[in-house]
Chain A
Amino acid sequence: GDSVTQMEGPVTLSEEAFLTINCTYTATGYPSLFWYVQYPGEGLQLLLKATKADDKGSNKGFEATYRKETTSFHLEKGSVQVSDSAVYFCALSEGKGGSEKLVFGKGTKLTVNP
């Protein structure tokens, strides 16, 4: 089946540092790709998505580009804040027409220090 591999954490950065969290996927087709964020003690929130090759998803200063040639969807932010501390999950959508499911990477915990 399809799978997602993302960089192991934890990642610790200082405020205003540049963030990259790598994510690569294996899929038989061309899935939609997502980044979800989980703040401490909360559920998952969709951060951004891309539905086809070369699409760039962006939200709250975060960006990720769907790269078919490298099967990657790396998450980047130019200047992180303390409030960005959370666990980040890369995911792909497998299946169609009511039978979709999300396949998640193992999550990367980000801690941003002031």
Chain B
Amino acid sequence: DTAVSQTPKYLVTQMGNDKSIKCEQNLGHDTMYWYKQDSKKFLKIMFSYNNKELIINETVPNRFSPKSPDKAHLNLHINSLELGDSAVYFCASSQVAEQFFGPGTRLTVL
């Protein structure tokens, strides 16, 4: 069974569109995260949620809106996509310090 899953794996879209990425974890963890990996492989946290409550928001543009309908899910909605949003987005979950990552969603904005 996959511990942290994301859909879709690849997402290609035009500038200005709105898109969503879904994440689910079956580990029973309380905390979930979104990270962005840029073209140089640099990883940076975007958001974290603990028991459906937003804990960390790392100065991410308002066009990015995470939503956590329950403890096992953390979705990422992006409005008005820009070229600079092209990246790989990773979802992760944790109970203590160790984090488990999903396979990533490669977003390409044309």
Contact = CB atoms under 8 A, between A and B. Distances in A.
Given A93-B97, A106-B42, A99 B104 contact: no
Contacts, number: 62
B41 A106 contact: yes
A44 B101 contact: yes
B7 interface: no
B55 A106 contact: no
Contacts of A68: none
Contact of B31 (A44, A100, A104, A107): A100
A102 interface: yes
Contact of A101 (B33, B90, B101, B103): B33
A1 to B, nearest CB: 10
Interface size class of B (residues with CB under 8 A): 20 to 34
B55 A43 contact: no
Contacts of A98: 30-31, 50-51, 55
Interface of B: 4, 30-31, 33, 35, 40-45, 48, 50-51, 55-56, 58, 90, 92, 94, 96-104
Interface of A: 32, 34, 36, 38, 42-46, 49, 51, 87, 89, 93, 95, 98-104, 106-107, 109
16 contacts: A32-B97, A36-B101, A38-B41, A42-B104, A43-B101, A43-B104, A44-B92, A44-B101, A46-B100, A51-B97, A95-B56, A98-B31, A101-B58, A102-B35, A104-B42, A106-B41
